Amino acid sequence: MSGETIRLLHAFSALADLSEQIAETRDFGEMARSALHVILGALGLRRGAVAEYEQEPGALRLVAAWGLGEDVPASFAFDAGRAELLAAAGGDVLQLDAADAPDLSRRTLGYELSVALPALRLRLVAPLVAHGELVGLLALGDKATEEAFTPDEREVVRTMARHVGVGIHNHRLLREVEARAGENRQLYDNLRSIYRDTVRAFAAAIDCKDKYTQGHSERVGKYSEIIARELGWSEEQIEGVAVGGYLHDVGKLVVERDIINAPYRIDAKQSVELNRHPAAGYEILAPIRHPDADIPLMARYHHERIDGRGYPDGLTGEQIPPAAKIVALADSFDAMTTDRTYRRRKEFPEVVADLRRNAGKQFDAGVVLALCRALLKELNGDARPRPITRLLGRDYLEPDSARPLLLELIADLEAAAHATASGV
Amino acid sequence: MVNATAGPPVRSERTGDVAVVHAADYLNRLSGERIERACREHLRAGCRALVVDFSETSVVNSIGVSILMGVIDTAERAQAPLVFAGASGQAAQLFELLGLTRHVSLAPDSRAGVALLAQYAQGVAP
């Protein structure tokens, strides 16, 4: 193979390498360094640098350098007027050691750069232009052959500089898109945070109406979150069901305070009034555009039962949205484990007995299983922190007696689930 | 940012004042920068001459050439003679065309490279 063919193949291969480095290297500095290496290696040059033009503060900032030693300035002042001049030159390569170079380079590059570049033994300058704007500068040193650059080599430099210019431009666009995405993410997170705080404040307002159930909505929200996490739901779904828990009793705002706070078991008429609250809650929440569209349904259906004996719509089994099944159990679990105006809270063995009796009737058995597993993890020390234990109060759960009850119920529920799945 | 020191270490050995550094199969930026670093470390450790062995190298791309320019710079600054050994015919021709051979000597293999450096040490001009 002739020398000229080898040189040509090497230059073609370098162009392919350059396109690949520019297209596939995500890190801007890495892209600039690789592009510089490709250009130096294509022509057998001993040194070079790539600088990025920054309109503000009007400077060429060094982003890649090779063979220049340690003491290279990090940036050079470069005003917008000169940037326009270079961009208007259309990417022409400037040879600093040409006969007319001192005047030409001083006019286009300015005094500082036209002195600094030759001092660094950089002889050839190619503006990096994209979409008619200067995005940077490529400065190259001597060839290892110590021969002058041929017109063909200057054309190779010009072509490669165009590639690098486009690469810098694209990386800038990418950086802008990423910055905007970051800002949007921040904005979104802030809005979510405001939404969560508003929901919690609203939950506190709901509970204020009932002096005996203060903190109920917040606890239902937390239990719902724990159960959903145990069921392996996504973070978005978990947040949705937690909000559903916080707001499930919002309909109580339309129920008379005397009924809610009655220090005795309410009568049938009062019960009808109280039982309006799920549908009223739905009416309140439905017009709001929640991140989770099922939140109004969680309020409406948190008193539905698997066996169809719930209210307001008497739904059964799969007709009840999964999130509403979780909120229903969380609501009842909190009711069983907190004091009310007319009764003391149940002891834990009674709660387990209630869960056993009502799994598959009042409550979804899978949801009961998830709550039991979450409780057992806390008792076994597998879950840190232990939110259920904290909500129940430190002395409520007695591990030695609670653990076997939970283990037995879990085993029974798993066996029942297995039998159902097998069609037994 | 890719760490130039990442990846498998460059194989090298030292014979007296001469270090032989073995280039990888494909000489790209990462493997090239590791070679350059290995050369610098050998010079810092007191080596007075270097052989870069290309006998296992099938491809030298443009980035590889640029890195080798850096190796030449490093060796020249330390006034250490440098030999490229075992380069394939095409790679050797490329080194010649791009002017690398103005700054380094070529040898058919690393043993011949070490012998060449021994001659230089005895006053035979490169």
Chain B contact present for A20, CB below 8 A: no
Residues 6+ apart with CB under 8 A from B70: A66, A67, B36
Chain B contact present for A6, CB below 8 A: yes
Chain A contact present for B66, CB below 8 A: yes
For A184-227, how does the pLDDT look when each residue is reduced to its tens digit (9 = 90+)? 999 988 888 888 888 888 888 888 877 667 789 999 999 999 99
Distance from CA of A13 to the nearest CA of B (A): 8
Selected residue of B63, B84, B93 to mutate for chain A interface (largest A Cβ count, 10 A): B63
| Calpha distance A347→A356 (Å, rounded) | 14
- Tell whether omega for the bond before A263 is within 30 degrees of 0, i.e. cis: no
The residues that bridge with B82 in the sheet, in sequence order, are B50
| Calpha distance A79→A97 (Å, rounded) | 23
Residue B75: which region, alpha, beta or left (left: phi > 0; alpha: psi -120 to 50)?
A: alpha
| Calpha distance A85→A90 (Å, rounded) | 9
| Calpha distance B114→B18 (Å, rounded) | 7
In the predicted structure, residue A261 carries a pLDDT above the cut 90 = no
In the predicted structure, residue B126 carries a pLDDT above the cut 70 = no
In the predicted structure, residue B1 carries a pLDDT above the cut 50 = no
Q: Model-level pTM?
A: 0.62
Cα A62-A64-A66 angle, rounded to 5 deg: 120
CB A45 within 8 A of CB B69: yes
Percentage, residues of chain A above pLDDT 90: 50
Answer yes or no: do B63 and A17 touch at CB < 8 A: yes
In the predicted structure, residue A103 carries a pLDDT above the cut 80 = no
Answer yes or no: do A46 and B96 touch at CB < 8 A: no
Distance from CA of A359 to the nearest CA of B (A): 56
Interface predicted TM-score (ipTM):
0.84
In the A/B pair of chains, how many CB contacts fall below 8 A? 88
Burial track A357-388 (b if 16+ CB lie within 10 A, e otherwise): ebbbebbbbbbbbbbbbbbbbbbeeebeebbb
Q: What is the mean pLDDT of chain A?
A: 88
Q: What value does the mean pLDDT take over residues A388-406?
A: 90
